[in-house]
Amino acid sequence: MDRHRPALTHPVRSVRPLRPVRWILVAVPVAFLVAFFAYPVATILGRGLWPDGHLDLSPLVDVAGNAALRDVAWFTVWQAALSTMLALAVGLPGAFVLARYRFPGRSLVRALIVVPFVLPTIVVASAFLALGVEPSLGAILLAHVFFNYAVVVRTVGGLWAHLDPQQEEAARVLGASRLRAFTRVTLPALRPAILAAASITFLFTFTSFGVILVLGGPTRATLETEIYRQTAQLLDLRTAAALSILQLVAVVVLLVATGRFQGRRAVALGLRAAAVTTRSVRSVGERALLGANLALMLALLGVPMAVLVARSFATENGPGFGFYRALGELRSDSVLFVPPADAVVNSLLFATVATAIALVVGGLAAFAVVRHRRGRALEAALALPLGISAVTVGFGFLIALDEPPLDLRTSWIIVPIAHALIAIPFVVWLVTPLLGSIDPRLREAAAVLGASPRRVWREVDLPIVGRAFAIAAGFAFAISLGEFGATLFIARPDRPTLPVVIYRLLGQPGAQNFGAAMAASTILMALTVVAILTAERARVGDIGTF
Residues pairing with 280 in the sheet: 102
pLDDT at 331: 60
Question: Can you spell out the DSSP letters for 43-86?
Answer: HHHHHHH-TTSS---HHHHHHHH-HHHHHHHHHHHHHHHHHHHH
Termini Cα distance of the chain: 27
pLDDT tens-digit profile of 308-364? 888 888 888 888 888 888 877 766 555 556 777 788 888 899 999 999 999 999 988
pLDDT at 544: 39
Q: Which domains are delineated in the chain?
A: 19-51+82-310+320-537 (1.10.3720.10)
> Contact at 8 Å (CB) between 196 and 209?
no
Instruction: Residue 264: name the closest of 382, 363, 376 by CA.
Output: 376
Q: Highest-confidence range of 151-165, 290-304, 379-393, by mean pLDDT?
A: 290-304
> Contact at 8 Å (CB) between 502 and 524?
yes
Residue 4 DSSP one-character state = G
- What does each C-alpha distance from 60 to 57, 63, 66, 235, 243 come to in angstroms? 6, 5, 10, 17, 8
pLDDT tens-digit profile of 83-102? 999 999 999 999 988 888 88
Instruction: Residue 305: name the closest of 477, 481, 127, 144 by CA.
Output: 127
- For residues 338 and 405, give the distance between their C-alpha atoms in angstroms, rounded to a whole number: 31
CA dihedral 432, 21, 445, 451 (to 10 degrees): 140
pLDDT tens-digit profile of 490-515? 888 778 888 888 877 777 777 888 88
- For residues 180 and 202, give the distance between their C-alpha atoms in angstroms, rounded to a whole number: 28
> Contact at 8 Å (CB) between 314 and 515?
yes
Instruction: Fill in the amino acid letter for 400.
Output: A
pLDDT at 266: 47
Largest CA distance in the chain: 83
Inform me whether the pLDDT recorded for 307 exceeds 70: yes
Degrees to nearest 5, angle at CA 234 with 232 and 237: 75
Instruction: Fill in the amino acid letter for 331.
Output: R
Residues pairing with 314 in the sheet: 319
> Contact at 8 Å (CB) between 359 and 489?
no
Three-state SS letters, 127-151 = HHHHCCCCCCHHHHHHHHHHHHHHH
> Contact at 8 Å (CB) between 48 and 392?
no
pTM: 0.73
Instruction: Residue 503: name the closest of 32, 105, 124 by CA.
Output: 124
- For residues 474 and 470, give the distance between their C-alpha atoms in angstroms, rounded to a whole number: 6
Mean confidence (pLDDT) of the chain: 78
Query: Which residue has better confidence, 257 or 347?
Result: 347
Residue 508 DSSP one-character state = S
177 class by beta-carbon count within 10 Å (0-12 exposed, 13-18 middle, 19+ buried): exposed
For residue 2, what pLDDT band results from cuts at 50, 70 and 90? very low
Count CB atoms within 10 A of the CB of residue 528.
Answer: 25
- For residues 193 and 428, give the distance between their C-alpha atoms in angstroms, rounded to a whole number: 11
Average pLDDT of 273-279?
67
